[in-house]
Amino acid sequence: MKTNFSAGSKTLSALMVSAGILFAPAMVGLAPVHAAAPAVAGLPDFSDMVDKVGPAVVNIRTTERLRMRDDGPDQDEMQEFFRRFFGGQMPTPRGPQAPRGGRRAVPQEQEVQRGVGSGFIISADGYVLTNAHVVAGADEVYVTLTDKREFKAKVLGSDVSTDVALLKIDGGKLPALTMGDPSKIRVGEWVIAIGSPFNLENTVTAGIISAKSRDTGEYLPLIQSDVAVNPGNSGGPLINMRGEVIGINSQIATLSGGYNGISFAVPIDEAMRVADQLKKSGKVTRGRIGVSVGEVSREVAESLGLKGARGAEVSQVEAGGPAAKAGLKPGDIIVKFNGTEIAKSSDLPRLVGNTAPNSKATVTVWRTGALVDLPVVVAEREADGAAAAGKGGERSKPKAEGAANALGFKVSDLSAAEKKELGGTGVKVEATEGVAAAAGLRQGDILLQLNNTAIVDTKQFAALVAKLDPKKPSVVLVRRGDTSQFVSLRPTAR
């Protein structure tokens, strides 16, 4: 089970409680009363559903092959040990320690168990879904059904970003689960999880949906529930009351490595999209436009005249990337992608990622108080791509003199090289005090924009600051290194 904190192995103990039966002598003149326990209304009975869906849930066991020698540890590894820790070569075996007949021992491989997890069959011809972290690094994967049949599985592909893997076993007319619609789930509805926690196969736990579209820093919004999920449940299904899969159990929030009341599942619609690509090509292709984004705070939205704290604030634009070619700039607020509203910054990479590479899209940005539509050609996202570093310019010596302005800045004009790099706008911070210093701004930062106005030079910047209302917060677009971000400041009365 993938956890948000480190998870160690736990010893499972069972608490057995015996129930005593109290016998009392019958009371004279009174007939015994046999009252049936009243039925509790409203609580669900999962037994019929478990009988139906349980056979399609599988146990997944992974192994790896370790190289062994019949005369002890591998000699090359021991030589490296002696070299690193004792500064020399390992003594050459002599006498009875040396292999007989002068022959070098032949390395042998031994298969050892690596881990256990869960999964479920999605088609009668043997396609199985599980988590990518369940099969990561495994040399062999074995799938065991509830009827104890075991198959060696082939990993068709896995996707770390969504933690989804697709397996194939050779079988026919296998039990398979029905996929549900995660968009229709409601917070508070009953769900169950089936899997192999602590390698206890075919374990059923129940709970409710706690939250939808929970951002956990991963690529996808996850389904949060309070269903008991523990190490070994990874890859098992989260099932609604109609017996449909709505998610793949993937993560837990825990301090101990065990169940803490918060578990997360990958929405099954997203997982199936990934599975379709893995089935076709063994990999997942996603789009990218080459920007880094952050959340838009309420203060930034108000200062820029944007209705509501929404959208994704562009903090960095990759040089030569699709966004740069389309004209996006640091400080732009992306409010729509291909007509779809961006409520929070995490919406953008999901929308872009689901867009086919080389296709055309329209990015709508809020810039200097107005909406601007920019056409962009989506590129293919690399597995571990990183934005290209910007070119540095010559640093001029401090030229600022006098007292800091109402925002706490002492600034200087940019050099010709710096102006060329930054598109002709901005001033350089030479010193900070007051609110600017308290906000963490420092010498060397570049100020690109004040509220909705681009900063041209020190004279214009001073005039803009002088007109600010000290009763209202303002925002400055600050560039540090290759990253830009809006910072909210309230001017000091002068």
Domains of the chain: 55-88+107-168 (2.40.10.10), 179-281 (2.40.10.10), 287-380 (2.30.42.10), 409-489 (2.30.42.10)
Residue 281 DSSP SS3: helix
pLDDT for position 87: 46
To the question of whether residue 233 is assigned a binding role by annotation, the answer is yes
* Cα four-point dihedral sign 288, 293, 296, 301: negative
pLDDT of residue 108: 63
Rounded to 5 degrees, φ, ψ at 417 are -65, -40
* Predicted pLDDT of residue 90: 46
Q: 47 labelled as ligand-binding?
A: no
Q: Beta strands 178-179 and 244-252: pairing type?
A: parallel
Q: Kindly give the pairing relationship between strand 2-3 and strand 244-252.
A: parallel
The pLDDT assigned to 401 comes to 46
The 3-state DSSP class for residue 153 equals strand
- The CA distances from residue 330 to 378, 424, 491, in Å, are 18, 14, 23
**Segments of the chain scoring below 50 in pLDDT:** 3-31, 33, 39-40, 78, 80-102, 384-401
CB 292 within 8 A of CB 315: yes
163 appears as a binding residue in the annotation: yes
Q: List residues with catalytic annotation.
A: 133, 163, 234
Query: Is 359 one of the annotated binding-site residues?
Result: no
Burial class (CB in 10 A: 0-12, 13-18, 19+), 213: middle
**Residue 232 annotated as binding site:** yes
Question: Where would I find the beta strands (DSSP E) of 19-173?
Answer: 57-69, 107-121, 127-130, 140-144, 150-159, 164-168
Of the CA atoms within 13 Å of residue 211, those in its CB half-sphere come to 11
